[in-house]
A and B are shown apart, each in its own frame.
Chain A
Amino acid sequence: MKANAEVLLLEDDAEKLDELRRHFASQGFHPLAFRSANRAIGALRDGGPATQPLIAIVDWDLTLAPDQSSSSSDALCVLARDASDCLVIVYTANADSFRVRSEINRAHPRAWLHDKRDGDASLMERVDRMLDHPVADLRVEDGSFVVHVPSQDQCHHREAVRLVIRHPEIVTFHSDTATRAVRRFGDWLARHGSPATVVSHGNRRYRLAVGGTEPAAHPGAS
């Protein structure tokens, strides 16, 4: 079954938010768009489709948000703790300020920083590049499935997409369903003779490794 992966968008400017929403929808994602951090946090915590987004794009400066009861830092903290498998990009016009960078690091130690002064298009280009980079003989298409390029076979599971776009990082998965999907993806890679393998680090933590340059899983790994 093909499922469009969710992308969480937090941007206080309604026009820019709509632009982001249209861009990601055109890329095959299911955009979940919010103008205030409080609404985004609520969605992350309510068990709905925003609970485990594949990607989150967060505007650091939310002065135009209709609800100021929570900040972008709060939203990043929730993403770091409750959706640690989500790729997070924060954009700000104050990327040169070490104080801002420190606040972002403290809120989400794994977040990627993007300079807003490079323009809105550069943000979308950067995200597209992150999604589009091939790993061994694999690539992600439409944000929702992994293609084994030599055979053109497709693996339609968001956890497979997550591993490819987060490569080479370790990803912590949050359910048995997700880890079963990851193991099935590992079997799928082996059947296709891909040099990419799924490595278990235990405790539902996995990463994608490329043969010959990275370690394979310990036979006793969970």
Chain B
Amino acid sequence: MEAGNVTLGALAPERDRTLVVLSRDGELAVGLRERLERARVVVKDARPGEASTAVASCQPWPWMLVGDLAELPPCVEPALARHPILVLWLGPAPHGLPAHGRDFSRYSELADAASLALEAEVDGMRLATGAGVALPGGRLARSASLQALVSAHPAGFNLPLMTFGAAARELSGSGVRLRPRRDPVTGWVSLQ
């Protein structure tokens, strides 16, 4: 991951909205970087051995994880179990992918899904340029969990409701009717 004493830019700390791509050759990351508007998301192109560093470099956590590996690097699983990270996979979903992860047989379908998640608009909320969510009325909400819920809508995440406390606080008094709520049937948390 380092050349001499230089750390790869893709592994440097990043506070803007990030999409981490795990692949062996980088082709998937190149495609997504050229497809998605760069002012709205930073694409980090990482190899399997860099997965842990790449995910940890995204503050507070990656907006989305994309990959095409046959196996999910085990070091990534704790982050996926703790945080609402969107997950898209090209090819069969590997063991360890969270239940909300989506797998695609074609690159074009995966790229469309990533693009739609970036452009999502829910009850007047949309992802702001760079990071956070633009609320109706113009306020900027910085909550990464709200950002994840907006992008995943109408689906959600199989995570504890308390994970979305910051999202609920941002929505309080915002004029938006939706709140993070647990679906009694699926157990997933989504905006309802």
Contacts and interface: CB of A to CB of B under 8 A. Distances in A.
Contacts, number: 114
Contacts of A84: 12
Contacts of B16: 170, 205
A77 interface: yes
A30 interface: no
Interface stretch (B132-140, B154-162, B184-192): B132-140
Contacts of B113: none
B45 A105 contact: yes
Interface string B1-38: 00110111110101110000000011101100100001
Given A107-B8, A202-B142, A218-B139, A71 B3 contact: yes
A109 B16 CA distance: 12
Contacts of A170: 16, 129-131
B79 interface: no
B134 A105 contact: no
A221 interface: yes
A139 interface: no
Interface string B119-146: 0000000001111101100111110000
Contacts of A103: 26
Interface in A169-187: 169-170, 172
A79 B8 CA distance: 10
A109 B15 contact: no
6 contacts: A73-B3, A99-B26, A106-B26, A109-B14, A215-B139, A218-B140
Interface of B: 3-4, 6-10, 12, 14-16, 25-27, 29-30, 33, 38-39, 42-46, 128-132, 134-135, 138-142
